[in-house]
Structure 1
Amino acid sequence: MALRQKKKEEDADMHLAQRITQNKKYSISGQADDEYDYDDTPRKKSKKKQGSDQKVTQNNSFATRFATQQERCLFCFENQRRPAHLVVAIANFTYLMLPHQQPVVPGHCCIIPMQHVPSTRTVDDDVWQEIRNFKKCLIMMFAKKEKEVVFLETVMGLAQQRHHCIVECIPIPHEIAKEAPLYFKKAIDEAEDEWSQHNAKRLIDTSMKGLRGSIPKDFPYFHVEFGLNKGFVHVIDDEQQFNSSLGLNVIRGMLQLPEEDMYRRRRHETVEAQKQAVKSFDQDWSPFDWTKQLHQS
Structure 2
Amino acid sequence: MRGSTAVREIVQHVHPKYHITSRGGDGTRGDVFYQRLPYVSEVAGTGRKQLTRLIGLSGINKVKDKTRKYLHALQVVPFAQQSAEERQHVDIPAGTTQNPYLHAMLDEATLRTGEPDAKRRKVDPAATGGLSTEQIEQLTAKSRGDAQFFYDQKLAVKGLRKGGLLPGEQQQRRNHRPAVPERTECWFCLSTPTLERHLIVSIGQEAYLAMPKGAICGDHLLIVPIAHEASTMALGEETWREMERFKAALRRYFASQDKELLVIDRNVATLGATHCHLQVVGVPKAMAAAARRVFETEGEKYHVKFEELPRDADEKADAAAPSTGPLELLRRHAQDKPFLYAELPDGEGGSTPLLHRVEGKHYVQFGRHAAACLLEMPRRANWKFCVVPKPEEEKLTQSFKSHWKPFDFTLEGVDDEE
With structure 1 as the length reference, what TM-score do the two structures score? Answer: 0.68
- For 1:107 and 1:260, the matched residues in 2 are separated by 13
Is the aligned partner of 1:257 residue 2:369?
no
- For 1:145 and 1:188, the matched residues in 2 are separated by 29
Q: Is the 8 A contact 2:339 2:355 kept in 1?
A: yes
- For 2:296 and 2:239, the matched residues in 1 are separated by 29
Residue in 2 aligned with 1:16?
none
Is the aligned partner of 1:268 residue 2:387?
yes
Q: Whose helix proportion is higher, 1 or 2?
A: 1
Is the aligned partner of 1:216 residue 2:327?
no
Residue in 2 aligned with 1:286?
405
Counterparts of 1:107-146 in structure 2, within 5 Å, are: 107-146=219-258
Residue in 1 aligned with 2:356?
234
Deviation at 1:186, TM superposition (A): 2.0
- For 2:254 and 2:338, the matched residues in 1 are separated by 30
Counterparts of 1:1-40 in structure 2, within 5 Å, are: none
With structure 2 as the length reference, what TM-score do the two structures score? Answer: 0.49
Is the aligned partner of 1:190 residue 2:293?
no
Q: Is the 8 A contact 1:150 1:226 kept in 2?
A: yes
Deviation at 1:184, TM superposition (A): 1.0
Q: Is the 8 A contact 1:107 1:170 kept in 2?
A: yes
RMSD: 2.9
Deviation at 1:226, TM superposition (A): 2.3
Residue in 2 aligned with 1:198?
none
Q: Which deviations, in whole Å up to 9, do the C-alpha atoms of 1:142-199 show, x marking residues without a partner? A: 10100011111222225x3532112111111112111101111222233218xxxxxx
Please, which moves more after superposition, 138-147 or 106-115?
A: 106-115
Q: Which deviations, in whole Å up to 9, do the C-alpha atoms of 1:246-290 show, x marking residues without a partner? A: 11211222222133578x833432211111111110112111111
Identity over aligned residues, as a percent? 21
Is the aligned partner of 1:57 residue 2:175?
yes
Is the aligned partner of 1:94 residue 2:207?
yes
- For 1:146 and 1:54, the matched residues in 2 are separated by 53
Counterparts of 1:59-78 in structure 2, within 5 Å, are: 68-69=182-183, 71-78=184-191
- For 1:183 and 1:192, the matched residues in 2 are separated by 14
Q: Which deviations, in whole Å up to 9, do the C-alpha atoms of 1:113-163 show, x marking residues without a partner? A: 1122122222110111111000000000010100011111222225x3532
Relative contact order: is structure 1 or structure 2 higher (C-alpha 8 Å, sep ≥ 6)? 1
Q: Unaligned 5+ residue runs, structure 1?
A: 1-50, 194-201
Residue in 2 aligned with 1:22?
none
- For 1:161 and 1:275, the matched residues in 2 are separated by 28
Q: Is the 8 A contact 1:87 1:96 kept in 2?
A: yes
Task: Tell me the secondary structure at the aligned position of residue 230 of structure 1.
Answer: strand
- For 1:127 and 1:187, the matched residues in 2 are separated by 32
- For 1:249 and 1:261, the matched residues in 2 are separated by 4
Residue in 2 aligned with 1:206?
309
Q: Is the 8 A contact 2:215 2:387 kept in 1?
A: no
Task: Tell me the secondary structure at the aligned position of residue 92 of structure 1.
Answer: coil
* Cα 1:275–1:295 shift into 2, 3 Å: farther
Deviation at 1:294, TM superposition (A): 4.5
- For 1:107 and 1:174, the matched residues in 2 are separated by 13
Residue in 2 aligned with 1:175?
286
Residue in 1 aligned with 2:192?
79
AA aligned opposite 1:154: R
Q: Is the 8 A contact 1:89 1:291 kept in 2?
A: yes
* Cα 1:126–1:77 shift into 2, 3 Å: same
- For 1:154 and 1:53, the matched residues in 2 are separated by 28
Is the aligned partner of 1:149 residue 2:246?
no
* Cα 1:292–1:113 shift into 2, 3 Å: same
- For 1:109 and 1:54, the matched residues in 2 are separated by 38
- For 1:215 and 1:54, the matched residues in 2 are separated by 27
- For 1:52 and 1:225, the matched residues in 2 are separated by 39
AA aligned opposite 1:96: L
Aligned mate of 2:396, from 277, 280, 284: 277
Please, which moves more after superposition, 160-169 or 137-146?
A: 160-169
- For 2:356 and 2:331, the matched residues in 1 are separated by 13
